[in-house]
Structures are given as structure tokens and as C-alpha cells.
Amino acid sequence: MTTSTKIPPAPTWDLDSIFPGGSKSAEFKKYREKVKKDIENTTDLLDRLPETLNETSRKKWAEFINKFQTLLADIYAVMSFAHCLAAQNVEDTEAHNIVGEGDIYKSQWDKLNSRFEALILKQTDIEWNAFTALDEIRDVKFYLDEMREKAKRKMPLELENLALELAVNGYHAWNRLYDKMAADIRVDFEENGETKKLSMGQLATKFSDPDRAVRRRAFEKMTEGWNTRADLAAMALNAQAGFRLSLYKHRNWETPLYEPLTMARLQQKSLDAMWRVVARETSRLAPYIEAKKKILKIDKFCWYDEFAPCGKVDRLYAFDKAGEFIIDNVRNFSADMADFMKMALADRWVEGEDRAGKAGGGWCTSLKPFKQSRIFMTYAGSFENLLTLAHELGHAYHGYILKDRPPFASLYPMPLAETASIFSETLVIDAALEICDDPQEKLMLLDQKLQAAYIMFTDLHSRYLFECEFYRDRPGGLIDKDRLNNMMVDAQKKAFAGLLDESGHHPLFWASKLHFYITDQPFYNFPYTFGYLFAGGVYDRAKKEGASFAKKYKALLADSGSLTCEQVAEKHLGVDLTKDDFWEAAVRRSLADIDGFVRLAGSL
């Protein structure tokens, strides 16, 4: 890869090929008007749907379902495109309004879904099974059966509709308010004799700076910024949790984990097995952290040291060269995946420019009706940024594999979504290690691999522990910011198993991490660790079987919208996720480079 101390700006994405004109696009407005009309038509279709399934009515039911799932894909496209507009310019008020508009459409679809759920509960098992065996329905049988099971655990129809309607301007509004609040935070940051206003997203890139003084100041400035919003963040977090808990109570859902586990298509036994093994093995990271402390010449390992680079640190990767490197090395596994990534980059699916006014974070969103995706990130040229690009391109490839599947068969759970992205990331970093002959660069690459394991076993685990405790205590009343700080530190102490110094925790992490505020996905934490470890199992199989596994990998991704996590693991890997064995092997694989890192660090 060509490198330099200064790189050209990363590209902006192409949104105009979807809807030209941004938030004021006439074409986008027309699309939204069509969605509104389709909601009316689908409502009318449901009104006229025969109440009883039989040989005569099956065709009309099939027509409704096909219309219904197409409508959902269109609504998600509105939401995704509006989210892209709001993220690329946090000052775009119209874009934020359209995000809210999309929430209304989704709420209306959800109310139709509740009506349909009530209807399908009235059907006999014999008629239901005959219906879902139809050729035009067979591909979405899994989703429909799942819908029927979920319906059995909900409130009466009128109460479900009321809850959905109230959520638009209550529950989901807190999420939108948090996003806008977080995006608006600016702090003064001095660097190279110049003071600039930086967003939280720009500030986060400083945590991988080789200068500890820069990292520490970035952390202090982030803390300063969030301290001005902590009371508001606490209000949002408490309100969202209160809404969830009230809803769960009236649905007779015994635990706050019922919804996230159902959405994840994952059993509690599998989740417990994973965290049990992780908690047992996390302390094995201690030699890695001790070696890293010596390299960094520090006595105390703090939150802002987690992404401190080791090894060669004067290398920046131009965006186009990073793309070429990813494509070239992915091609060794799958020409299909490499060709897709080449196309996605050439067609400017990626928003990477490092500029003020953007939201923070990195993500990939699907625009299924257009058979495309878009990737959002801030690319500053680090190897970490290169891995993020590979990660998000993995997500986009997953969407590409499912592009011709019916919408209901394309809705895969988050744990399996992370599999594709982390698999792609692992392919790239291992390829980089394989061709590396510079000890300093090899140290950096090994650090990146172990850093991923460290974050998945500690940071993500602390989020899970925090939310478990928060939801245990929230029924007793509002939890103020000071107590939230204490809960966060307690969770970090447990999850990090002494790897962080006592003075090095991040009390305000509950406020600064947007994942805690995403209303569409409660407990937005464990799927990452699951995906990381599960991807490791898939990757091991790929290494053993070679290029022939590429077709099997595509088949695994293609099944991700039609099976549970346990079923995917059993069908494509022959493993049982409820047992410790799989997780122990996955953890051992993720920690296999510790000795090599320690030896190399000691020799330099």
C-alpha cells in the first residue's frame, strides 16, 4: 500500500443516483408519497382479506403478504435514505424531519402488522401449514411462522396499536433527540498550535493517536462535552427504559432480554454460554496489556489507551489504496466478494470524508428496493479506518447476497449481520500479516487483532452488564447521572477483569455510546461479541477448506434471514451454540496471537 504523512481526502458518497437533490429532492418526496399511498392501499387490502384461511382464500392471503413485505422494504428505504442525509449533515433540519416521517410510516406498518398477527392467530394449524407451503410463500415461511409465535406473546390488538402510536412521538422521539443532541456537541481542541471546533466523531479519531497527551486531551474534551449533556442523556435513557418496561409488563414478558433475544433469534442458553466462557477467559489478555504498557511506556492502562497504536505508527493509508488492498486480499478467498467490493467503491457507496458537521460512528445501511447499500464513516487514514472500511463492506456484501430474496427472507438478526462484517475484517488483517516482513508493522497488525478481542471481551461485556443492572434497578424509579456513572464503572470493573487501571475507567460511557439509545434494537451489545466469535468459527472453516468454502459462505449468508442462529450454526458448521465447546474454541482462536505479540514486543 502506498503511504504518506498526508493523504488525499476520502470521497463522499453518491446519494443522487438514488434520489437527487438531498433532503429537498422532488424524487424522494414522490417516493414518500407513493409509500403513503401504498400504506392506504395495503390497509384496504387487509380490510378486505378473508378472515379464514382455506383453499379459496389462500391466493388473496399470498397477494397481501407479498404487498405487505414490499411495503416494508420501501419504508425501510425511506428511513435509510433519510438517515444518510441526516448523518452527512447534522444541520440538515429537513433530513431530521424526514427521519421522523419514516418513523410514522413504520408505526403505521407495525399497526397493520398487529392486525395481521391477530388474524393469523385465528387460523388452525392445519390451514396455516397448508398456506405457508404454497410456492409463492415458501421462501418466507420462516418469517411468517415466527410472526405467528410472536403474536401469541402480545397484548390485545387495540392495546398494541395504542402502544405503537404512542411510541412514534414518545419512545422513538427520545432516540431522535439523543442523536441530534450528540451530533450537535462541539468542543475546542488545540492541535499543532491551532484550535478547532471538533464533533464527537472527529474527536474519537484522536484515540488512535500515538501521542498519549493527544489521546488524554481528547478523552478529557469528550468527557467535558458529555458532562454538558449528561442530565439530558439520563432523561432519554430513563424514558426509553421506562417505556420498554411498561410495555413488557403488559405483554407478560418476564425479562427485558426477551425482546432482544427474540430479535436476535438466539436462545438465552447460547448467550449465557458465550458470556460464561468470555468471563472465564478474559484474564488471559493480561500479558498482551502488560506488553502494550511497556511499548507505550506507561504505568497505568486507561480507557483512552485502548486504541493506542503499537509498532509502526507513521503510516497513513490513502482511501483508494486502502480499497485496493482490501479487494486484492479478499479476492484470495472469493472473487465474487472482491468484485462486489470493487463495484461498491467505484460507484461511491462510501461516505468517508473527514469533515465537520458529520455525525459520528460508522455503519452500513441497506436500500433493498434499489439493490444497493451505503456506508458511512469518517476516514482519517489509519489502519483502524482501513479495517472499518473492510468491516462495513462485509455488511454491504451480505446485503448483496440477499438482494434478490423476498424482503421477509432478507431480515437477518444482528448477531448474524456482524458475522459477515467481522469475517471480512479478519480476512484483511490476516492477509496483511501474511505479507508483512517488517517487525514493527507486524507488531501493529497483531495489536489490531488482539485489540479486537480485547474490545469484544471487555468493552462489549461491560455494556451488557451495565444494561442488565440498569434494567434490574429501573423499575424502582429514575436513575440519575451519578448513579449511572457508578453503575457503568462497576460494570467495567467486572468486565475488564483488572485490565484497566482503577483510574482509567469511563464513567460517562453510558451517555456517549449511542448504542444505548437505539430504540429499534434493545441491548445493542451482545450481537457484536457473538458475531466476532461466530465469524471466527466460520473463518476457521474457511481456512481449513480453502477457496471451495466461498460458495458455502454465500449459502450461510443467504440462510441468515430464514433460520435461527442455532440453526445456522448447526446446518453450516455442525456446532451446538448452547454448549461451551464452540465458544471455548472460538475464544482460544481469538487469543492465539498473544504469545507472538509478547515475544515480538520484547525483541524490539
Per domain, the residue ranges of the chain are 22-169
CA 248 to chain CA mean position, Å: 24
Q: Per-residue pLDDT tens for 286-299?
A: 999 999 999 999 99
As assigned by CATH, the class of the 22-169 domain is mainly alpha
Amino acid present at 165:
E
* Residue 447: exposure state from Cβ atoms within 10 A (0-12, 13-18, ≥19): buried
For 267, the 3-state DSSP assignment is coil
CB atoms within 10 A of CB 487: 19
Averaged over 436-459, what is the pLDDT?
Answer: 93
For the chain, give the percent of residues with pLDDT over 70.
99
β-strands 350-351, 316-317 pairing: unpaired
d(CA 422, CA 530): 10
Q: Determine the pLDDT at residue 556.
A: 97
d(CA 204, CA 222): 8
- Confidence class of residue 314 from pLDDT cuts 50, 70 and 90? confident
Q: Which residue has the cell 390497509?
A: 43
Averaged over 21-31, what is the pLDDT?
Answer: 98
Residue 216's contacts (CB-CB under 8 Å, 6 or more residues apart) are 302, 304
Query: b/e per residue, 393-413, with b = 16+ CB within 10 A?
Result: bbbbbbbbbbeebbbbbbbbb
Q: Is the pLDDT of residue 8 over 90?
A: yes
For 574, the 3-state DSSP assignment is coil
- Confidence class of residue 192 from pLDDT cuts 50, 70 and 90? confident
Q: Per-residue pLDDT tens for 147-181?
A: 999 999 998 989 988 998 898 889 999 998 998 89
The C-alpha cell that represents 19 in the structure block = 434520489
Q: Which residue has the cell 488482539?
A: 450
Q: Is the pLDDT of residue 19 over 50?
A: yes
Q: What is the 3-state secondary structure (H, E, C) of 350-378?
A: EECCCCCCCCCCCEEEEEHHHCEEEEECC
**Residue 198 phi/psi, 5° resolution?**
-115, 145
- Confidence class of residue 199 from pLDDT cuts 50, 70 and 90? confident
d(CA 455, CA 300): 18
Contact 284, 483 (CB under 8 A): no
Amino acid present at 19:
F
d(CA 418, CA 531): 5
d(CA 342, CA 151): 43
Sheet of 363-367, strand order: 350-351, 372-376, 363-367
Q: Per-residue pLDDT tens for 571-599?
A: 999 999 999 999 999 999 999 999 999 99
Q: Is the pLDDT of residue 510 over 90?
A: yes
C-alpha angle 76-341-551 in degrees, rounded to nearest 5: 90
d(CA 316, CA 72): 42
Tell me the longest C-alpha to C-alpha distance in the chain. Answer: 78
Indicate the average pLDDT of the chain: 94
Q: What is the 3-state secondary structure (H, E, C) of 169-220?
A: HCHHHHHHHHHHHHHHCEEEEEECCEEEEEEHHHHHHHHHCCCHHHHHHHHH
CB atoms within 10 A of CB 295: 18
- Confidence class of residue 2 from pLDDT cuts 50, 70 and 90? very low
Q: Per-residue pLDDT tens for 205-234?
A: 899 888 999 999 999 999 999 999 999 999
For 155, the 3-state DSSP assignment is coil
Contact 557, 571 (CB under 8 A): no
Residue 257's contacts (CB-CB under 8 Å, 6 or more residues apart) are 268, 271, 468, 523
Contact 201, 215 (CB under 8 A): no
